[in-house]
Structure 1
Amino acid sequence: MNILATGLRDPSVEEFDTRTLLKKAAQQATKRRYEDFLIVDVDAHHYETESLSEILEYIEDPVLRATAKAKGGVYAGAPTLMNNQPGFQDMGGRIGRYSTRRLEKTPAAPPHRDVHLTKRWMDALGVDIVCLFPTPMLLLGLHPNVEIEIALAQAYNRWLTQNVLSSEPRIKSMLYLPFNDPEATYKTVQEFGHKKGVIGFMITAARYKPVYHNAYMKTYALLEELGKPLSFHAAYNWYDQSFFQTTNKFIAVHALGFTFHNMIHLTNWIVNGLPERFPKLKTIWIESGLAWVPFLMQRLDNEYMMRTSECPSLKRKPSDYIRQMYFTTQPMEMVDNRDALELTFKMMNADSQLLYSSDYPHWDMDLPSVIYDLPFLSEQAKRNILGENARKLFNLEPIFSDLKLAAREAHQKSA
């Protein structure tokens, strides 16, 4: 791989390959015998902007479709449809896969390029089933034009279900909900609730619509009827004038932003009695880490015991409802104080409520070893968090990768 005078990798190289990039991860998976159990990754990503020219064809509004397509280039339509945030996710070019992923070669024949690329990193990490999310669209809830959020969400969901989910049973998704419009949100669940590979629905947390508004109740009821979980995927908003515009470093807005929005939505969800109103609707809180969960449990319980009259629909303490919710692992705070992490696991009932997630290919991704190597977890707890909890939550049929099946057969023959 060429190196520029600056010391950074040359983004024009053509030999980039995910399998080479993740060679050590694959060795780690082999050493730990991941083929012996199911691993479900509940939060990983692709870059939908790399297929945006295809997605634009699914926009129903002919004027918006034509306007977006008029912007040429690799990311055709992105300047018209997407809203961006400042940030330094690629660490100044040191995360090479950010700049080189578009150059990776894949077979020209079906399935879609995203299927080939996704399976490559899944096999390297030892992941059997993945829940795939978009990336730039995580900020679409902040778009000033609600009609654009609706149009792009519908187009993306149709493109994803027809071109990716329909062709690969190992790839699933919780589809994007255009939450700024309650009626469009409801219609999205109606249209896609029974589509192949759709295991739930996602609200991008960086937005300002209250989850307790009456206009969303019929959507929650429909999700409960379908048995589809509702997830809140975190992001950050550096333009937030209330808090985050006072920060001057990306590390600050990233550390706080990815927890802040989910904390607000979770708090509103509980204090407005939604767990009691929709007791069978499972909620998942994604990519916020774990350290904030004990804080919120204690803070809400303390307030609730002094002001129970403000939450008349609750029958238990807020922490009791939180312990029934689901959380994804990444980015798990691997601090020096391992006792703090162990206590966090205990407080949130991690053995049954925690779901492994890699967040691949983002800069702060986590390998399955972050769970597998924890000394305070039993073997069964590790297997639960890495796959069994997700299998039960989403009612998944276990599907193992061909590499795992081959490795398992080889071990059986040698035994």
Structure 2
Amino acid sequence: MDARTPPPELPEIGPRTNSLDILAHGKAQAARRGFDRTFIVDVDSHIGESGNWPEVLKYIENDATREAAFTFGGGTGQGAFLNDIPGLQWQSAHGRIPHGSGLKEPAPDGLPKPVSLARRAMDALSLDYQVFFPNGLLFLGMHPVREMEVELATAYNRWIVEEVLPHEPRMKAMLYLPFNVPDAAEAMVKRFIGAPGVVGFLVTSTRYQAVHANEYMRTYAMLEEAGMPIGFHAHHNWHNEYTKQLNRFISMHALSFVLSNLVHLTNWVINGLPERFPKLKTIWIESGLAWVPFLMQRLDHEYLMRRSEAPLLKRLPSEYMREMFYTSQPMEAQNMKLLEGTFEAINAETQLLYASDWPHWDFDVPSTIFDLPFLSDTGRRNILGYNAARLFNLEVPARYGQMAAE
């Protein structure tokens, strides 16, 4: 397709619509902006592993659990042991926003389907790397059976490392930590650290576990020593006592993705973890950006009045927060003046990471960052790719020349 020719309009987007057609506008934008000459890393994408769930189940290491899993789904194992949460079925907006049915398009190239679909997205958006996370596991932190979280997380991580990553060097994974069982989270890091294609570890933020609990300190220390970042990935939660008061999906979606990371980041900073682990990099994922300056101001205000309650801190909370990493999606871009102030507050030119959240319904293409009028060229290139290269120790292809300044 010629970059000057507008993509054809899709009369309908369904589960079997080719993702290349869904991404046609993004591909055209990439061509017009010369993204083939721009180093781009997407640090938040999701693979649709639901169709591969029976393959994941084969990696369950407890024989009894694995056998029981294949009594689900008429003997297929489909959906076995996953815990659903209220709200997922409300994401589709009755024909206007399709979501939840997954990408069921054919992928006849002989590769694992998640790899084929990831390649299509990377090629369409001109991505050099794509960091992906579990999709069906985003709400696993609320599983009522804690040992099941451990078993499913182990199986999923093995499947990723053994069946997905070997096929595509541009795909990189942050592996799931079963955070409800601290010893298991520690064991997961020990087991998979250094595995090819693994660039970090992930905590799904929808859970009720205090991130500053002493039981997690060995895990953080191991990650710091290995130079591996830890990410906190938000998700919605409509059965929290606060969000249960909200009567529309739009309200719950707007607040719950922020609420979990508000709590976890506050505990992280006020309890002095940046001082205890000064080289451990943290990433706050899929909460947008508008909440960060709000929390900076709130915590600074409280800290200046009650320093004795945060004795480990040597600086203002906001100063630690400006050294953390944040993903861009979903970026609140309705007011450019406010957005520019947010970028300044969080040191975006060195700390912000481009994220698409593909293939979810509110995904952002790279032009979302590229077109911002207030960014310097260096800042634009950093956010689109070089910040991620620095964080994840990714190799920058020689054709891009020198890395942008930090």
TM range (shorter): over 0.9
Contact 1:44 / 1:130 at 8 angstroms: preserved in 2? yes
Structure 1: give runs of 5+ residues left out of the alignment: 1-7, 409-415
Q: CA RMSD in A?
A: 1.9
Contact 2:56 / 2:159 at 8 angstroms: preserved in 1? yes
1:60 and 2:69 aligned: no
Contact 2:287 / 2:329 at 8 angstroms: preserved in 1? yes
1:117 and 2:126 aligned: no
What is the identity, as a one-letter code, of the residue corresponding to 1:25?
G
Q: Which residue of 2 aligns with 1:197?
A: 197
Deviations 1:252-287 (A, max 9, x none): 111000000001000000110000000000000000
1:396 and 2:387 aligned: no
Secondary structure of the residue aligned to 1:179 is coil
| Partner Cα separation in structure 2 for residue 329 and residue 224 of structure 1 | 24
| Partner Cα separation in structure 2 for residue 383 and residue 318 of structure 1 | 28
TM-score by length of 2: 0.92
Structure 1 position 106, deviation (Å)? 1.3
| Partner Cα separation in structure 2 for residue 312 and residue 114 of structure 1 | 47
Structure 1 position 399, deviation (Å)? 4.8
Q: Map 1:6-405 to 2 at 5 A.
A: 9=12, 16-72=17-73, 76-87=77-88, 88-96=90-98, 98-99=100-101, 101-102=103-104, 104-109=105-110, 111-241=111-241, 243-335=242-334, 337-399=335-397
More helix by share: 1
Structure 1 position 20, deviation (Å)? 2.1
Secondary structure of the residue aligned to 1:175 is strand
Secondary structure of the residue aligned to 1:80 is coil
What is the identity, as a one-letter code, of the residue corresponding to 2:357?
D
Structure 1 position 91, deviation (Å)? 1.9
Query: How many pairs are equivalent?
Result: 390
Structure 2: give runs of 5+ residues left out of the alignment: 1-10, 401-406
What is the identity, as a one-letter code, of the residue corresponding to 1:153?
A
Distance 1:139 1:201, change over 3 A: same
What is the identity, as a one-letter code, of the residue corresponding to 2:94?
G
What is the identity, as a one-letter code, of the residue corresponding to 2:322?
R
Secondary structure of the residue aligned to 2:235 is coil
What is the identity, as a one-letter code, of the residue corresponding to 2:31?
T
Point out 4+ residue stretches in structure 1 off by more than 6 angstroms. Answer: none
Secondary structure of the residue aligned to 2:73 is coil
Q: Which residue of 1 aligns with 2:8?
A: none
Deviations 1:260-315 (A, max 9, x none): 00010000001100000000000000000000000000000000000001111100
Structure 1 position 83, deviation (Å)? 2.7
Structure 1 position 51, deviation (Å)? 0.6
What is the identity, as a one-letter code, of the residue corresponding to 2:342?
T
Identity of aligned residues (%): 50
Q: Which residue of 2 aligns with 1:5?
A: none
Structure 1 position 98, deviation (Å)? 5.0
Distance 1:11 1:328, change over 3 A: closer
